[in-house]
Amino acid sequence: MSQSLLTVAPSPHIHTELTIPQVMRGVIIAMVPALLVSVYNFGLGAVYVTGLSILFCAGAEWAICKFLLMREPTITDGSAVITGMLLAFNVPSNLPWYIILIGSLVSVGIGKMSFGGLGNNPFNPALVGRVFLLLSFPVEMTSWPKAVATWSLDGTTGATPLGILKDGLRAGETVPALMQQMPSYTDFFFGFQGGSLGEMSAFALLIGLGYMLYRKIITWHIPVTMIATVFVMTGIFWFIDPTRFASPLFHVLTGGVMLGAIFMATDYVTSPVSHKGMIVFAIGCAVLTVLIRLFGAYPEGVSFAILIMNAFVPLINKYLRPVRYGANKSRQPKVGSQQFEQGKRPVTSN
Amino acid sequence: MKNRAFHKELKTFRLGGVHPQDNKLSASAPLAQLPLPKQVTIPIIQHIGAPAKVVVQRGDTVKVGQVIAQHEGFISSNIHASCSGRIGIIEEVMDSSGFKHLAVNIRVKGDDWLETIDRTDTLVEEITLSRDEIVARVMEAGVVGMGGAGFPSHAKIKVPEGKTIDTLIINGVECEPYLTADHRLMLEKPREIIVGVRILMKALGVSRSIIGIEDNKHDAIELFEELLHEDKQIEVQPLEVQYPQGGEKQLIQALLNREVPSGGLPADVGVIVHNVGTTFAIYEAVQKNKPLVERVVTVTGKDVKQPSNFWVRIGTPVIELITAAGGLPESTGKVVSGGPMMGKAIADLEVPVAKGTSGILMIAQAETKRAEEYNCVHCGKCIEACPMGLEPYRLLLLSKAGQSEKSKRENVLDCIECGSCSFVCPSNRPILDYIRLSKTKVKKLK
């Protein structure tokens, strides 16, 4: 080749292979086990809702780019597919198509594109859509199909474990009595419970977490801290009064804690950038979740908790900065200090 | 006492770091002498500090080792003829950074060395020179930091006034992917390097020295362990493989858990760091009276026929090295002087090898292209990677906005330009490019 054709560019000259499309693909792969559990539990309903949601979200992003923003559609980065999947994961598997459409438009249109697209949205788009739907269609959004594999679209519906708990406690029953009506913890763990499409199985979600950690897509800080804080905090209440408060294991395995901690709170865009910030953020998500669950009007609070903490992210990023090299004065020994004099001794080890 | 290295706990630096594939393709290629080129072009500035002053004229005949440009002041360095022959044209030529500097061309004839230089391979262990004589000899020999920075070594041997040095660190990390020059030198000249360490210890008046070597060079760690197991003053410390461990500040943190203050020097925490290549050059300067006229250069790349490590005379055109390693691969899109993380892409293969040239790396066209850039998604990977604990994504935004004052407050000048942030950015954002821009602007603020 001719020498004059050599590329000249500043260093570094190599780049990691983990780029945005790879990251997004990785997240999608990590969500597959949870989706499979859902398909096993709900049959066609899960496929139908997830498929529509992805289609609507990607379509909305494409149309907004093409006709409103007049720029190259950005759906190839894969983030719209994730928003679609996450939105589907957060709704019941028998949701009518028009509600999914509205949810998708709110998620992508208001939640993401109105701020300038990927990277600029302050709130998790899927949760924006989910909460919008929860407030607008409270009946449809809380009639959960029973977790029995059925390949027809109209199964029977029932309440979630958290719903049974909240209603029962309100009616004056005790936790141990209510637990009699619920599936076992093993069932919770593997996903034989009522609830949103993607939050069925802690087991499947943990497989996804393991995969994302292995691929170094996310770090442990947010999911582990959030789950652990929920466990500890509900544990304290449970310890104080086990008749009024359910066990920590129950709280961790039911509802959206796993889904939220692993897939929603870890969203790059809407979570803090430093490890310290991530831990504070995750603790905040967990505390709010528990407060809403135990003392609020809703049986479940993960979505609200994460959205509220999303709003604090800029503040967290501003105040919780990484430790700078050289900032720790104890690592700058003064001449004559003991640490310094260590060097003077002849090395005697071996 | 064998395999002691593996009982030692691996150390590493605590902040940031990345793990690029190490691709040490030339690790098993022994050092080979590159045939003498027809001509060499020797820039008069290959170091940090003042350019040397040319003391020869066109038409003069020079011997190998003869001074052709004299240092100007203390922070400067002598430049020697690396080949014998006749001085050709003295004009400005482009160096590997793309800047033009005055350079002396020598038309090579024979290989006629100054008689004062000991060219035998005999190991001279006894150090007879005094501290001041060592400094003078190193200065005379034009030795500069060979890890890339090119700071005149004599200035680093003389303990700065008001400072006390307690530890000498020898940098055998070679954390840049692909490069194996230091590795091969450690394997083939370990005794010389150890004498070099003793010379440095004598000059600095310290009783403790640590040689830091990354764990991907087991053979070198074992060799030094074996040679030094009786030595109570020189330690060998194996290190976890992590980039940029060879950065002076990172190596000090890894080995001693000390941190150089912002804007300070290693001497501020009682440490001086020298690279193994420099240590060898200091051995040759002090014990053999041999100036820095040649160095080891790795010639490598995924498609290179024979990835090699050559002894190369300073001033040899890069193309000669490439030819000796089997020629420029058809796929080449970029030729880098140095490693892939911090090296400089060169535009012209006639660029001469300088004292700081550790490798020539050929990168395929396919790997040359920068991938599509996306918006910042605030993933925090650049923060996780930054070995200085900075927030690269924020520095990029400030740089784009032209906020030099704020960048300064965000300690942009602490950046060591290791490239870890740009390397890990999943959005392919040119973070370091913008940080460099910012640094230039901030420096002008003063």
DSSP code of residue B18: B
- Answer whether A72 touches B (CB < 8 Å): no
CB A103 within 8 A of CB A91: yes
Q: pLDDT tens digits for A164-197?
A: 888 888 888 888 888 887 778 888 888 777 778 8
pLDDT of residue A349: 34
- pLDDT over 60 at B284, yes or no: yes
List the alpha helices (DSSP H) in A156-201: 161-170, 175-179, 185-190
**Cβ-proximal residues to A30 (8 Å cutoff; 6+ apart), any chain:** A207, A208, A209, A211, A212, A217, A263
User: Could B334 and A7 be called an inter-chain contact, meaning their C-beta atoms sit closer than 8 Å?
Assistant: yes
Give me the sign of the Cα torsion angle B250, B254, B259, B260: negative
* A6: nearest CB among B335, B338, B390: B335
Alpha-carbon distance A260 to nearest alpha carbon in chain B (angstroms): 17
In degrees, rounded to 5, the angle at the alpha carbon of residue A165 between the alpha carbons of residues A163 and A167 is 65
Question: Which residues are bridge partners to B312 per DSSP?
Answer: B295
Does B1 have pLDDT greater than 50? no
d(CA A56, CA A75) in angstroms, rounded, equals: 12
pLDDT tens-digit series, residues B375-421: 999 999 999 999 999 999 999 999 999 999 999 999 999 999 999 99
Tokens read off for A25 = 């693909």
Q: Taking CB atoms and an 8 Å limit, are B342 and A11 in contact across chains?
A: yes
Q: Where in chain B is the domain with CATH 3.40.50.11540?
A: 4-27+124-287
Residue A274 forms contact with B (CB below 8 Å): yes
Which of B5, B1, B358, B18 is CA-nearest to residue B179?
B358
Q: Find the angle CA(B246)-CA(B247)-CA(B250) to the nearest 5 degrees.
A: 100
Q: Predicted confidence band at A340 (pLDDT cuts at 50, 70, 90)?
A: low
pLDDT one-digit tens code per residue, A93-124: 888 999 999 999 999 999 999 998 888 999 99
The reply to whether A26 touches chain B by the CB within 8 Å rule is no
ipTM comes to 0.87
Cα of A220 to nearest chain B Cα, Å? 13
Contact between residue A133 and residue A141 where contact means Cβ atoms under 8 Å apart:
yes
Distance from CA of B331 to the nearest CA of A (A): 8
Q: What is the pLDDT of residue A343?
A: 46
| Strands B31-33 and B308-313, sheet pairing | parallel
Q: Which of A140-149, B104-113, B196-205 has the lowest mean pLDDT?
A: A140-149
Token pair in block for residue A200: 């069925």
Q: What is the pLDDT of residue A338?
A: 54
**DSSP β-bridge partners for residue B11:** B239
Residue A156, pLDDT score: 56
Q: Could you say which DSSP state residue A329 is in?
A: G
B79 has pLDDT over 90: yes
Q: What's the confidence (pLDDT) of residue A94? A: 85
Residue A161's pLDDT is 83
Query: Is A332 close to B258, i.e. CB distance below 8 A?
Result: yes
For A:205-224, CB contacts with B below 8 A are: 219
Write out pLDDT tens, residues A289-335.
999 999 988 888 899 999 999 999 999 999 999 989 988 888 887 66
Higher-confidence position of A57 and A346: A57
Q: A31: closest CA among A77, A74, A88? A: A88
Q: Alpha carbon of A75 to those of A63, A83, B372, B437: distances in Å?
A: 10, 11, 14, 32
Please give the backbone phi and psi of residue B358, each rounded to the nearest 5 degrees, phi first. Answer: -95, -20
C-alpha–C-alpha distance, residues B134 and B277, integer Å: 17
pLDDT value, residue B423: 95
What's the pLDDT tens digit per position in B165-198? 999 999 999 999 999 999 999 999 999 999 999 9
Contacts of B349 in chain A (CB under 8 A): 3, 6
CB contact under 8 A, B375 and A340: no
Closest Cβ–Cβ partner in B257, B377, B390 for A331: B257
Do B105 and B316 touch, CB atoms closer than 8 A? no
At residue A38, φ and ψ (nearest 5 deg) are -65, -45
The 3-state DSSP composition of chain B as helix, strand, coil percent (nearest 5) reads 30, 20, 50
Which pTM was predicted? 0.89
Please give the pLDDT value at position B99.
Answer: 83
Q: Quick one: average pLDDT of A266-278?
A: 94
Cβ pair A83, A50 in contact under 8 A: no
Residue B96 tokens read as 């590997």
Q: Residue A110: its pLDDT value, please?
A: 94
> Are the Cβ atoms of B345 and A8 closer than 8 angstroms?
yes
Q: Which one has a higher pLDDT value, A139 or A3?
A: A139
A 306-325 → B contacts, CB under 8 A = 317, 321-325
Please answer yes or no on whether A331 and B259 come within 8 Å at the CB atom: yes
Partner residue opposite B380 with nearest CB, options A1, A116, A274: A274
Single-letter residue type at B150: G
- State the average pLDDT over residues B254-263: 92
B84 close to B63: Cβ distance less than 8 angstroms: yes
Strand partners, B337: B344, B360
* Position A224 pLDDT exceeds 70: yes
Chain B nearest-CA distance from A137, in A, is 31
Q: How many CB pairs under 8 A join A and B?
A: 209
pLDDT, residue A344, reads 46
pLDDT value of residue A169: 86
Mutate to test the interface with A, among B22, B164, B166 (most CBs of A within 10 A): B166
Contact A327 B386 (CB under 8 A): no
Chain B residues whose beta carbon lies within 8 Å of the beta carbon of residue A23? 379, 426
Report the percent of chain B where pLDDT is more than 70: 98
**Which residue of A119, A269, A344 is in closest CB contact with B166?**
A344
Q: Domain A20-319 maps to which CATH number in 1.20.120, 3.90.320, 1.10.3430, 1.20.1440?
A: 1.10.3430
Q: Which stretch, A41-45, A56-60, B97-101, has highest mean pLDDT?
A: A56-60
Instruction: Determine the Cα angle at A222 with ends A219 and A223, to 5°.
Output: 90
CATH architecture designation of domain B4-27+124-287? 3-Layer(aba) Sandwich (3.40)
Domain chopping of chain A, boundaries = 20-319
The residue to which tokens 């028998």 are assigned: A94
Tokens in use for B372?
Answer: 């599509």
Q: What is the mean pLDDT of residues B215-219?
A: 93
Residue of B nearest to A268 (CA): B379
Question: What distance in Å separates residue A270's CA from the closest CA in chain B?
Answer: 8
User: What average pLDDT does chain A have?
Assistant: 87
Judged by a CB distance cut-off of 8 A, whether residue A2 touches chain B is: no
Q: Mind listing the pLDDT tens digit for each residue in B106-159?
A: 999 999 999 999 999 899 988 999 999 999 999 999 999 998 778 999 988 888
Letter string b/e over residues A139-175, b meaning 16 or more CB atoms within 10 A of that residue's CB: eebbebbebeebeeeebeeebbbbbbbbebbeeebeb
Radius of gyration (Cα) for chain A, nearest Å? 24
CA distance B322 to chain A (A): 13
Cβ A49 vs Cβ A86: under 8 Å: no
